[in-house]
């Protein structure tokens, strides 16, 4: 096993990267739960795998496109 030693700046970069990743994931999960309109709670969204989130996002995008093409209101 190889140990990785980071200086203070390296540690700060890792922490900032994790914070940015966490923020992006939370925003993605909030967006999914909003589109699901009660079909998926925020707590449940944390249990989704990245593949699940991608599949749901694709379905949402397809439905948005179909709604736009049909001229029907989405919201």
Q: Digits of tens for pLDDT over the chain (75 positions)?
A: 676 788 999 999 999 999 999 999 999 999 999 999 889 999 999 999 999 999 999 999 999 899 989 988 766
Q: Which residues, 6+ apart, have CB-to-CB distance to 47 below 8 Å?
A: none
pLDDT of residue 4: 78
Total-model pTM: 0.76
Of the candidates 59, 64, 22, 29, the one whose C-alpha atom is nearest the C-alpha of residue 44 is: 29
pLDDT of residue 33: 95
Q: Which residues, 6+ apart, have CB-to-CB distance to 40 below 8 Å?
A: 32, 33, 56
pLDDT of residue 73: 79
Q: How many CB atoms neighbour CB 36 within 10 A?
A: 15
Which pair of structure tokens corresponds to residue 75?
Answer: 């919201």
pLDDT of residue 55: 96
């Amino acid at each position: 096993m190889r140990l990785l030693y980071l200086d203070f700046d390296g540690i700060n970069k890792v922490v900032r990267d994790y914070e940015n990743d966490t923020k992006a994931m939370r925003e993605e999960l909030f967006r999914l739960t909003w589109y699901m309109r009660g079909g998926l709670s925020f707590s449940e969204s944390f249990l989704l795998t990245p593949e699940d989130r991608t599949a749901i996002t694709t379905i949402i995008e397809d439905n948005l496109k179909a709604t736009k093409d049909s001229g029907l209101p989405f919201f």
